[in-house]
Amino acid sequence: MGSSTTITKINLANDMKMMIDTFVGVSGDAVIEIPYNTSKFVLLFKESSILIFEKNDLEVKRIERKMILPENYKLIGFLEEKEKVCLEKKSKVIVLKECKETYSAPGISTSTVSTSIQAKFEQGFIEKENKVANELGIDPNYLLAVIYFETGGTFSPSQKNAAGSGATGLIQFMPNTAIALGTTTEELAKMSQVEQMDYVKKYFQTVGAGRLSSLSDVYMAVLYPKAIGESEDYVLFKSPTTAYKQNKGLDTDKDGQITKQEASSKVLASYNKIIEEKIS
């Protein structure tokens, strides 16, 4: 591919330019605003590549940096209805290509899960869960533990939040979140486990799933995305805020604040339960 070639068959502005030097040594996410184009794209910076996700209306509060793309830099490659692409850095040119990355951890097999848990899986669910987790770069065991916890161990796609918040489904989609993902909580409740996993995938893509390497971070993606990558003593909610009151049950030491570790402790218990109940 010649350096003078700019392939514009992409779902981005034709004049999209990027300054590679801006990315050197930068970690985390950024919202890229393209001049004369209302689309926004979430970029997740990694060591050898950059993951890019189209930013829909769902607010991702942990994204703080905004950059207007300068001129004099070319984007080479193309995107045609791809859910995830990689941007490879080559000198002062960014090459856009489809990501081939998959998570290398072994998946979950129904033959290694206890019959009591296996009975809650619809046909094809665990295969779909493995597929989605691998495409997101998440340990399938972590994702399964979060679903277990969020549904109270039922794995029901119609599970409602007991506190009456309107949250529904495998990862307790809030009504506004469901709308931002192109559906409603009413529609989600009618879906099968397998069907709803497509929306689990969509949601995790909006929060930059590529850097969810720990169980607590996978859970933070659902509970409080701003805390992804933060230390375990990071404070999520403090009394007397509404958020604290809604999650008061997570304050294990009753000190008026909820840390990332406290919030994740019950998910860890779910993870351990799944592990413990595996058939040897």
Give all domains of the chain, ordered by start, each with its CATH number.
Answer: 20-98 (no CATH), 110-276 (1.10.530.10)
Q: Are 175 and 144 in contact (CB under 8 A)?
A: no
Helix (H) or strand (E) holding 259: strand 257-259
Interatomic CA distance for residues 46 and 169, integer angstroms: 31
Indicate the residue type of 83: E
Confidence (pTM)? 0.61
- Secondary structure of residue 61 in the 3-state scheme: coil
Q: What Cα–Cα distance (Å) separates residue 59 from each residue in 73, 113, 169? A: 29, 36, 20
Residues 6 or more apart whose CB falls under 8 angstroms from that of 263 comprise 216, 219, 220, 223, 224, 236, 247, 250
Cα 98–Cα 99–Cα 101 angle in degrees, nearest 5:
160
Query: Over its length of 280 residues, how does the chain's per-residue pLDDT go in tens digits?
Result: 333 333 333 333 233 333 333 444 444 444 444 333 444 444 444 444 444 444 443 333 333 333 333 344 343 333 333 344 444 444 434 444 444 444 344 555 554 567 788 889 999 999 999 899 988 888 888 999 999 999 999 999 999 987 778 899 999 999 999 999 999 999 999 999 999 999 999 999 888 766 687 899 999 999 999 998 888 999 999 999 988 988 888 898 899 999 999 999 989 888 888 766 543 3
Residues 6 or more apart whose CB falls under 8 angstroms from that of 272 comprise none
- Secondary structure of residue 153 in the 3-state scheme: coil
Q: What Cα–Cα distance (Å) separates residue 248 from each residue in 18, 238, 268? A: 44, 9, 18
**Confidence at residue 172, expressed as pLDDT on a 0 to 100 scale:** 96
Indicate the residue type of 20: I
